[in-house]
Structure 1
Amino acid sequence: MLGCIADDHTGGSDVAAALRRAGMRVVLRFGLPNAETRLPDCDAVVVALKTRALPAAEAVAHTLHARRWLASQGADRLYLKYCSTFDSTDDGNIGPVADAVADGALTLICPASPEHGRTTYLGHLFVDGTPLSESPMRHHPLTSMTDSNLVRVLGRQTPHPVGLLPLDVVRGGAIREHLDSLAAKGIRHVVVDATEDADLLAVARATVHLPVVTGGAGLAGAIARATTTTAQAEPATLPSGPAVVLAGSCSAATLAQLDQALARFPGHRLDPVRTSDPEDLVQEAFAWLDEHFGDGPVVLYSSASPDQRAAARAAMGPHTSELLEQALGRVAERAVKLGARRVVVAGGETSGAVTTALGVEQVLVGDEADRGVPWCLTTGDDPLALLLKSGNFGGPDLLVRAAGDR
């Protein structure tokens, strides 16, 4: 069984989708499992944590806890999943966590996901052909990425040497020999060049001997394709019933998706400029939801433009993002109590707040609404369907399609 640890909830959903697409039966867990937690029969299990923005020591502790549990469940290989834009700061958390889980062995650093426009060449990460440092990620409020050279970025996060697996070696067929030579020189982490899915598959086939590998969903999917004989996972049936859309991401993709959703469905924005007290903000959202729920999909969101975000921080203070995430989590809880059976969430931190508020700990991974955005089904007699969307993922009409009447 393959064990995977993701550093946020939408990242867990993304990698679970890639594994399922290759034919694996996948279970996705949210948060730290305990010793009593048991799994249904599966080929892969993904533990989705919320460690991306934690202090490095906490992120390491949580990841090692998840790793021990995965080992106790029979996972004999570990995949550490982070965002394909390598979201991190100079203090971590990718480097410190990779150091801890690799435990002295050489491991791969491979965020490339060509199908999503994330490619790596000469160690530099590109987003839709644009260097990472020139992409919208340079303005991220928590993990601003101002350097595209991943060898250099990772070198600031770890005391251990960082090497490169260049594209000519990936395509030349001497991947393992190159990695062995780097290991002999004391290299601990190897940034992988990849510009096509075929590159990832070549890397996956050449590194089956490595007990720990790290990367984005692209390499995880390649590993699944290289090791799975099942052609396709069985389709999943979504529950019928009302849908609610909850959006906290401020990415350009999510804002465009919201534009389409708000043109079709009634919506309410949680606006700290209008109502700066967090409890009043929640109660205002509750009142709106109570009035509008039941007549079709509804949208509640805190997503905002840069100017709106600046005004919100001025009104509510430095913890505005966290307070809004918690508010949307409470709104999700209210919506489910009112009868919502499909909950569509945009944003990694928002997804974490929603699953926590709903008490969802484990789901079965179903069909994808868009590439890397799967429906997830809770277990039991009355399942709830969750769609946890990373901010940048999905087509412009994703929220409309996901929330549309069934």
Structure 2
Amino acid sequence: MGIVLGAIADDFTGATDLANNLVRSGMRCVQVIGVPEQPLALVDVDAVVVALKSRSCPTSQAVEDSLAALDWLQGQGARQCFFKYCSTFDSTDAGNIGPVSDALLERLRASQTVMVPAFPVNGRTVYQGHLFVGDRLLSDSGMQHHPLNPMRDADLVRVLTRQTPHPVGLAARAVLARGGAATRQHLNALAEQGVRHVICDTLDEADLEVLAEAVVDMPLVTGGSGLGQALPAQYRRRGWLAEVAEPGRLAPASGRALVLSGSCSRATLGQVRHFLERHPGFALDPLALAEGDDHLAAALAFARERLGAGGPVLVYASADPRRVEAAQATLGVARAGRLVEQALGQLATILVEEGVGRLVVAGGESSGAVVSALGIRQLRIGEQIDPGVPWTQTPLSGRAAPLSLALKSGNFGGEDFFTRAFAVLPTEETP
């Protein structure tokens, strides 16, 4: 039937998060890294997610890259476009969510889109336009300490108004309670008033289903992966999507197991502690990396030795906010982040060449660095490990078996994620 949904994600883990939910809802999905320069054979594919590194880059670059992705997706015949950003809406007051959404709307000649960041199963909900993480406002959730995009305002109408010259409205929970048709009428009324962007309250999965019904015919929708999980049912009702058995089936995995973590989120810090109680790990220090190659060489030697012993190994730069701020004060925010990303990318390249075949990466920027270093251009999306995080596979030159790769957003996953991820992945030895 061709490509139904074409998505543009502003980071690599966000792309995988969306692709995971599309697969769980029955869509065969491929994730591509950047805008493909060569033609792709998209056989038995219902959705394509283009992963960009546009969340924290200069706004002009984010717009340019997103428009290029849109043009490519339209060339593949995608019926609907989805701009995917994080369920914590993290951005800056200048962008990039507002400017990218404006540019996509203009290219599509569309007058309105919705903003649906909520992902209730992971504790992200919106009420009266305010974003909650669990039972805390976004601004009190730990995201106010994000090293790149600190979020100190939970009012998304107010946040987005600072990013766009166009009116921002609200589809409140009371509107959604009246159903999909009433919600569509409310959106149309706002459009007649010139409201281009509509923040949508969302408390649970039922609200996502209402929103999917209301927006399925919009040229552009935006939000987190929760809306992506709800849309495929609407596509089937329109006859755009066939039923498919095992849309997330992957080949059996092989090779050694490695975790690389650059995220400093609360969830990832807990996962690091849990892993270190059971398996070996090496802490990367940006200050030591800045002094020369010895620290990276020590990390590499540690990983080689422990991988040779057979168990999963962790190399991590994850640290509490005080340590991160101390490194940033000495090195600068950009250089501290760049040193960690470069180190993780180098470790991934060397250790995959030496036999790592099962790799978990934590953190959006870290995942982008690792995927870029490995030269990965395309991922087939498999089964879910935790909400928002699937295993994926990609062929790599010189490897007989595909590389199995999990790209985890910093805030996602249970405390035992790093250990359980390998336990749920079918391997060649699995009966």
Q: TM-score range by the shorter chain?
A: over 0.9
Structure 1 segment 30-179 matched on structure 2, within 5 A: 30-103=33-106, 104-173=110-179, 174-179=182-187
Q: Which 4+ residue blocks in structure 1 deviate beyond 6 angstroms?
A: none
CA contact (8 A) 1:254 1:346 kept: yes
CA distance, structure 1, for counterparts of residue 298 and residue 422 of structure 2: 23
CA distance, structure 2, for counterparts of residue 317 and residue 152 of structure 1: 29
Structure 1 segment 364-379 matched on structure 2, within 5 A: 364-379=380-395
Identity of aligned residues (%): 50
CA distance, structure 2, for counterparts of residue 199 and residue 232 of structure 1: 27
Match of 1:6 among 5, 9, 18: 9
Q: For residues 314 and 175 of structure 1, do their structure 2 counterparts lie closer, same or farther at Cα, with a shift above 3 Å needed?
A: closer
CA contact (8 A) 1:22 1:230 kept: no
TM-score normalized with structure 2 length: 0.90
Structure 1 segment 338-353 matched on structure 2, within 5 A: 338-353=354-369
CA contact (8 A) 1:11 1:390 kept: yes
Match of 1:240 among 254, 274, 277: 254
- Give 1:387 shift: 0.5
CA contact (8 A) 2:349 2:373 kept: yes
CA contact (8 A) 1:161 1:187 kept: yes
CA contact (8 A) 2:145 2:321 kept: no
SS at 1:293 equivalent: helix
Q: For residues 276 and 315 of structure 1, do their structure 2 counterparts lie closer, same or farther at Cα, with a shift above 3 Å needed?
A: farther
Match of 1:294 among 292, 308, 313: 308
> Is 1:199 aligned to 2:202, yes or no?
no
> Is 1:184 aligned to 2:187, yes or no?
no
Amino acid at match of 1:76: R
Amino acid at match of 1:250: C
- Give 1:215 shift: 0.5
CA contact (8 A) 1:244 1:403 kept: no
SS at 1:158 equivalent: coil
Amino acid at match of 2:410: G
> Is 1:223 aligned to 2:231, yes or no?
yes
CA contact (8 A) 1:6 1:47 kept: yes
- Give 1:62 shift: 0.2
- Give 1:142 shift: 1.4
Unaligned 5+ segments in structure 1 are none
Match of 2:415 among 392, 396, 405: 396
> Is 1:333 aligned to 2:357, yes or no?
no
Unaligned 5+ segments in structure 2 are 237-241
TM-score normalized with structure 1 length: 0.96
CA distance, structure 2, for counterparts of residue 194 and residue 15 of structure 1: 17
CA distance, structure 1, for counterparts of residue 139 and residue 216 of structure 2: 32
Amino acid at match of 2:259: V
CA contact (8 A) 1:239 1:383 kept: yes
Root-mean-square deviation over aligned CA pairs: 1.7
Match of 1:209 among 198, 213, 217: 217
- Give 1:25 shift: 0.2
CA contact (8 A) 1:91 1:156 kept: yes
Report the counterpart of residue 239 of structure 2 in structure 1: none
